[in-house]
């Protein structure tokens, strides 16, 4: 490898240079469900401070009972022999033991969600071959949450963790109201998540009306003023960097009666949410295509994917040119059209290989498509982590998959005679894993 970062790399030298650049580039993880210790933790640990309703999830029992694995264990231990409610009545540790037995001992843990846990254990210096969780539990019980966050972020090379902060979740809202500086941990940034406000506006209007923001079920001008005030107060309280919503496959804009938003939800989007985001230069993030609770017995594990509508994204980007949109879509089949839409609108930043797409075969396919259509002007990945330790595997795996695509693309570029240097590659890795998002939320 040439010592001079500005000297041209040979085709054979490119893969190692790309891998080094992507491994060493600190990430701004722009969508997670992670929290700092100020939000409490239900996990037994060396500080002895436990909050059963705490939001900071970490450690092997939380890792193994991540909802992806709950869905997978029910593939091998069907509800007919082990009813869902029986599983949910188990303690977290008992649930984890059940999953470890059936997915990691009696079967080969070869799925991405299973393999991810083994990558995390391995990178924490633990033996991934244990037959029970006891040795792992001992390790995690010796950790102190605050220091452990630093350790995980260092191993995963994550510089900033972006939270998801659902204001209509009573537990979350009360924590913010009870501790104004709860979100001041410099490692974390907040996001105002508002799903009910758009997806079930009449119920949301009833709730915010009890929070001193009187809003009518059929939103009139005064209601819209109150909703804008509600959004502004919470954006200030959280110091949020964007506003987010998850939308079902049926989401359409313009809405039709009976659509996902309905005419009231659409009016709130047009007259409150987007104007507040535009005046504060905050992106509005839409994660589109999740159909909730198709299998209610699985609870968080019971959600599904469904074909969504890109034309609705195009209509919003076109009709609201002063707004910045962040969009991730869940269906594999939507990815090409979404990438083409991003070619048409500079106020559309597409991001991540979300949820059921966060697997090697699909990250490869989607990243390849995006580089070919968008160059380096997109955000290739977010972790969507719910359990802190997942950062270790989600970023280890994603960096490798993304680097493999870019290595091939740089080799194709070099074949034209264009010089490809370490400096080029490091600059691009910085854009893709950090600066594209950082600049989009601040510009």
Structure token pair of residue 87: 């599983």
**Residue 367 binds which of Zn ion, ligand HDL, none (CB < 5-8 A, kind-dependent):** none
Q: Which of residues 365-384 bind Zn ion (CB under 5 A)?
A: 384
The minimum distance between CB 146 and Zn ion, in angstroms, equals 24
**Residue 139 binds which of Zn ion, ligand HDL, none (CB < 5-8 A, kind-dependent):** none
Q: Decide if residue 355 touches ligand HDL (CB under 6 A).
A: yes
Q: Decide if residue 386 touches ligand HDL (CB under 6 A).
A: yes
**Residue 345 binds which of Zn ion, ligand HDL, none (CB < 5-8 A, kind-dependent):** none
The minimum distance between CB 243 and Zn ion, in angstroms, equals 14
Residue placing its CB nearer to ligand HDL in the complex, 396 or 428: 396
Closest CA to 188 of 38, 41, 328: 38
- Burial class from Cβ neighbours inside 10 Å (0-12, 13-18, 19+) for residue 348 reads buried
Residue placing its CB nearer to ligand HDL in the complex, 66 or 140: 66
CA pair distance 40, 61, nearest whole angstrom? 17
| Residue 178 DSSP label | H
The minimum distance between CB 72 and Zn ion, in angstroms, equals 18
Q: What is the DSSP string of 125-145?
A: T--TT-SSSHHHHHHHHT--H
Residue placing its CB nearer to Zn ion in the complex, 309 or 384: 384
The minimum distance between CB 357 and ligand HDL, in angstroms, equals 10
Residue placing its CB nearer to ligand HDL in the complex, 269 or 287: 287
**Residue 176 binds which of ligand HDL, Zn ion, none (CB < 5-8 A, kind-dependent):** none
x-or-dash pattern for ligand HDL, window 228-267, by CB under 6 A?
A: ------------------x---------------------
Contact 155, 123 (CB under 8 A): yes
Q: Please tell me whether the peptide bond between 254 and the residue prior to it is cis, using omega within 30 degrees of 0.
A: yes
CA pair distance 366, 350, nearest whole angstrom? 11
- Closest CB to ligand HDL: residue number: 246
CA pair distance 431, 427, nearest whole angstrom? 6
The β-bridge relationship of strands 325-329 and 158-162 is: unpaired
The minimum distance between CB 31 and ligand HDL, in angstroms, equals 7
Instruction: Report how many residues bind Zn ion under the rule CB under 5 A.
Output: 1
Residue placing its CB nearer to ligand HDL in the complex, 82 or 355: 355
Give how far the C-alpha of residue 400 lies from the chain's centroid of Cα atoms, to the nearest Å: 18
CA pair distance 57, 1, nearest whole angstrom? 42
Which DSSP helix (H) or strand (E) runs through 374?
A: helix 360-374
**Residue 246 binds which of Zn ion, ligand HDL, none (CB < 5-8 A, kind-dependent):** ligand HDL
In order of 62, 105, 120, 137, 140, the CA distances from 133 in angstroms are 12, 11, 14, 6, 11
Question: Is the CA virtual torsion 243, 249, 254, 258 positive or negative?
Answer: negative
Residue placing its CB nearer to ligand HDL in the complex, 183 or 302: 302
Contact 238, 175 (CB under 8 A): no
Q: Which of residues 266-305 bind ligand HDL (CB under 6 A)?
A: 287, 300, 303
Q: Decide if residue 250 touches Zn ion (CB under 5 A).
A: no
x-or-dash pattern for ligand HDL, window 138-177, by CB under 6 A?
A: --------------------------x-------------
Instruction: Report how many residues bind ligand HDL under the rule CB under 6 A.
Output: 9
Q: What is the DSSP string of 70-139?
A: HHHHHHHS-TTTS-HHHHHTS-HHHHHHHHIIIIIISS---SHHHHHHHHHHHHTT--TT-SSSHHHHHH
Residue keyed to tokens 């600190």: 26
Residue placing its CB nearer to ligand HDL in the complex, 212 or 300: 300
Residues near ligand HDL (CB under 6 A) are 33, 164, 246, 287, 300, 303, 355, 384, 386
Residues near Zn ion (CB under 5 A) are 384
């Amino acid at each position: 490898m040439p010592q001079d970062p500005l000297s041209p790399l040979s085709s054979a030298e490119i893969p190692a240079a790309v891998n080094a650049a992507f491994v060493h580039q600190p990430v701004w993880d722009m969508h997670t469900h992670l929290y700092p210790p100020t939000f409490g933790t239900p996990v037994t640990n060396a500080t002895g401070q436990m909050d059963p309703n705490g939001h900071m999830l970490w450690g092997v029992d939380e890792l193994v009972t991540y909802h992806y694995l709950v869905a997978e264990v029910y593939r091998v231990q069907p509800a007919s022999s082990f009813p869902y409610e029986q599983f949910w009545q188990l303690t977290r540790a008992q649930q984890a033991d059940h999953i470890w037995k059936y997915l990691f001992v009696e079967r080969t843990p070869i799925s991405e969600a299973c393999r991810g846990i083994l990558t995390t254990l391995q990178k924490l210096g633990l033996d991934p071959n244990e037959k029970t969780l006891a040795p792992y539990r001992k390790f995690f019980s010796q950790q102190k949450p605050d220091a452990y966050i630093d350790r995980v972020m260092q191993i995963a090379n994550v510089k900033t963790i972006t939270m998801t902060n659902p204001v209509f979740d009573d537990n979350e809202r009360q924590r913010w109201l009870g501790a104004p500086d709860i979100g001041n941990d410099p490692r974390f940034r907040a996001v105002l998540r508002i799903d009910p406000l758009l997806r079930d506006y009449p119920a949301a209007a009833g709730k915010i009306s009890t929070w001193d923001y009187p809003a009518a079920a059929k939103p009139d001008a005064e209601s819209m003023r109150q909703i804008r005030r509600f959004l502004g107060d919470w954006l200030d309280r959280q110091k949020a960097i964007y506003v987010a919503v998850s939308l079902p496959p049926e989401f359409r804009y313009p809405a039709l009666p009976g659509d996902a938003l309905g005419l009231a939800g659409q009016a709130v989007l047009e007259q409150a949410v987007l104007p507040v985001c535009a005046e504060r230069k905050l992106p509005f993030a839409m994660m589109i295509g999740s159909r909730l609770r198709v299998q209610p017995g699985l609870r968080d594990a019971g959600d599904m994917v469904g074909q969504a509508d890109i034309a609705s994204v195009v209509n919003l980007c076109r009709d609201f040119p002063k707004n910045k949109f962040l969009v991730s879509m869940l269906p594999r089949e939507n990815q090409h059209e979404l990438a083409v839409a991003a070619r048409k609108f500079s106020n559309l930043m597409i991001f991540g290989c979300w949820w059921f797409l966060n697997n090697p075969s699909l990250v490869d396919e989607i990243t390849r498509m995006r580089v070919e259509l968008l160059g380096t002007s997109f955000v290739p990945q977010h972790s969507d982590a719910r359990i802190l330790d997942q950062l270790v595997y989600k970023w280890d795996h994603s960096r490798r998959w993304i680097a493999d695509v870019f290595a091939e693309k740089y080799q194709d570029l070099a074949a034209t005679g264009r010089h490809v240097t370490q400096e080029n590659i490091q600059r691009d890795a910085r854009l893709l894993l950090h600066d594209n998002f950082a600049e989009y939320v601040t510009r």
